[in-house]
């Protein structure tokens, strides 16, 4: 289920660029995003709200802000989310206030969100860059989820089941990366970010004008 009651995402358009990343669970987007955040100082992660239980090693307000369903529903009612969705049985949402704050500070933002959330955002904010990460095969996806040891057998089965529907929406994205070898996938992701930042529309026009004044 995707969110229906959201605020006007277009209003948070500040200076920063939004990079929206989706992938089936286990494809490697958290690994890739963390690598990117370490290497690119101008980039920040949009920390989502979720009703899912924290995994071992996950910190509140760092990986997610973990909240009760009641609190999450209140936020929906007040229109505090730029997008939200039910994913693999839990609620996840992007806070409009957090996005506004980071873009106003001039940061570029990585949003690790599911395909429904990405499409909600697209209807309000088409200037974001939409990136889809694929696993090399469904077998590899399963192996990665099993090896990660963070989910029960049931949850893994549910996530693999959802993978097929998620992959079907790849055409809605601007870029596709196959995460077979991590170093190659990382280089490709970094290239997309760098090339986007070098686009004329994202240049510092004031600085260029000053060159000739």
Residue 21, phi then psi, degrees to nearest 5: -120, 125
CB–CB of 13/127 below 8 Å? yes
- Cα 128 to Cα 201: distance, rounded to the nearest angstrom: 13
CA 138 to chain centroid: 21
List Cβ neighbours of 46 (8 Å cut-off, separation of 6 or more).
94, 95, 98, 99, 102, 109, 110, 111, 112
In the list ligand ADP, ligand 5GP, none, the entry touching 48 (Cβ below 5 to 8 angstroms by class) is: ligand 5GP
Question: Rule CB under 6 A: is residue 26 a binding residue for ligand ADP?
Answer: yes
Contact 13, 91 (CB under 8 A): no
- Stretch near ligand 5GP under the rule CB under 6 A, chosen from 37-45, 88-96, 193-201, 203-211: 88-96
Contact segment (CB under 6 A) with ligand ADP among 27-35, 63-71, 123-131, 160-168 equals 27-35
CB of 58 to ligand ADP, least distance (A): 11
Q: Looking only at residues 27 through 86 of this chain, which bind ligand 5GP when binding is defined by CB under 6 A?
A: 48, 52, 83-85
Binding window for ligand ADP (CB under 6 A); candidates: 12-20, 55-63, 68-76, 178-186: 178-186
**DSSP, res 82:** E
Judged by CB under 6 A, the number of residues near ligand 5GP is 16
**Residues of the shown chain interacting with ligand ADP in the complex, contacts defined by CB under 6 A:** 23, 25-31, 144, 147-148, 179, 181-182
């Amino acid at each position: 289920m995707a969110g229906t009651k959201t605020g006007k995402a277009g209003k948070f358009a500040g200076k920063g660029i939004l990079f929206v990343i989706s992938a089936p669970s286990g494809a490697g987007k958290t690994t890739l995003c963390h690598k990117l955040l370490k290497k690119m100082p101008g980039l920040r992660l949009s920390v989502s709200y979720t009703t899912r239980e924290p995994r071992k090693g996950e910190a509140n307000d760092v990986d997610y802000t973990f909240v009760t369903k009641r609190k999450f529903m209140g936020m929906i009612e007040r229109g505090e989310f730029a997008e939200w969705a039910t994913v693999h049985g839990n609620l996840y949402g992007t806070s409009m206030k957090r996005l506004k704050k980071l873009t106003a500070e001039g940061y570029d933002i990585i949003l690790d969100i599911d395909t429904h959330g990405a499409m909600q955002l697209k209807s309000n904010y088409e200037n974001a860059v939409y990136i889809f990460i694929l696993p090399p095969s469904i077998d590899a996806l399963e192996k990665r989820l099993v090896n990660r040891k963070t989910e029960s057998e049931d949850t893994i089965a549910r996530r693999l089941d959802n993978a097929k529907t998620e992959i079907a929406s790849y055409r809605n994205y601007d870029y596709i990366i196959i995460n077979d070898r991590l170093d190659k996938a990382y280089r490709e992701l970094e290239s997309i970010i760098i090339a986007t930042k070098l686009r004329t529309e994202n240049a510092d026009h004031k600085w260029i004008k000053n060159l000739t004044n």
